[in-house]
Amino acid sequence: MVIGSSGGIGAAMTTALQADGRFDKVIGMSRSAAPFLDLTREETIAAAAAFAAVHGEVRLVFNAAGVLSADGASAERSWRELDPVAMALAFQINAIGPALLLKHFLPLLPRGGKSVFATLSARVGSISDNALGGWYSYHASKAALNQLVRTAAVELARRAPEAACLALHPGTVDTGLSRPFRKTGLRLRSPEDAADRLLAVIDGAGASQSGLLLDSDGTTIPW
């Protein structure tokens, strides 16, 4: 299952998984695909999970959805720019929505054998790695997401000891989210390259990595 399959990384991951051939079926979900899934509406998440359940064993759930800033607001450079409405929407999409994915999709993972729930997070969600400041809503919502993944991993281990619940940092990828950086000279990774790297990390991860924030090269990013 690929959530956010209409976005840059989500679409590339869907294509990579379909080409890989290891899964009997690859299903993409988003606000512009069927089955419809909107991270701000729990009933659509529950319906999407029910849809997935009738298509066989779910061995991989990959969430590619997220926002840098919501409803056209720019990422905050100072506390003076904090807006409670924009902040709440960032938390809804980056943290609360993925928490509801955990709620409805983790019970679908088989109790035996390897299975993975992976969600895109970000290095800037690491509190100890934050030396630049700014981007309050994005930093904080991704830090919340990392804690949610960590907490869910503890519970998942009791139910499915070989499963992994992962937060993944894809690097800076050439997608709509990275649009503000295109004029800075920063080297952007293609969505296809990012998907291949992330799939390699998922392949190499096991239960011992469950609950960690992993970089696209497989190394652990500190909290």
Q: What is the pLDDT of residues 20-73, one digit of tens each?
A: 989 999 999 999 988 899 999 999 999 999 999 999 999 999 999 999 876 667
With residue 105 as reference, give the H or E element that holds it. Answer: helix 97-105
In this structure, what token pair is assigned to residue 189? 């990774």
**Confidence label for 87 from pLDDT (cuts 50, 70 and 90):** very high
Predicted confidence at residue 40, as pLDDT, reads 95
Choose, from 114, 136, 142, 183, the residue flagged as catalytic: 142
Domain boundaries, the chain: 2-214
Identity of the residue numbered 148: L
Yes or no: say if 206 and 164 are a contact pair by the CB < 8 Å rule.
yes
In this structure, what token pair is assigned to residue 19? 């080409």
Predicted confidence at residue 138, as pLDDT, reads 93
Q: Strands 163-168, 115-120: parallel, antiparallel or unpaired by DSSP?
A: parallel
* pTM assigned to the model: 0.92
* Fold topology of 2-214: Rossmann fold (3.40.50)
For the chain, state the CA radius of gyration: 16
Is residue 22 packed enough to be buried (19+ CB in 10 Å), middle (13-18) or exposed (0-12)? exposed
138 is catalytic: yes
Choose, from 25, 103, 138, 183, the residue flagged as catalytic: 138
DSSP string, 123-190: GGG-STT--S---HHHHHHHHHHHHHHHHHHHHHHHH-TTEEEEEE---SBSSGGGGGGTTTTPPPBP
**Confidence label for 76 from pLDDT (cuts 50, 70 and 90):** confident
Q: What is the pLDDT of residues 129-167, one digit of tens each?
A: 888 888 999 999 999 999 999 999 999 999 999 999 999
Neighbours of 50 (CB within 10 A): 12
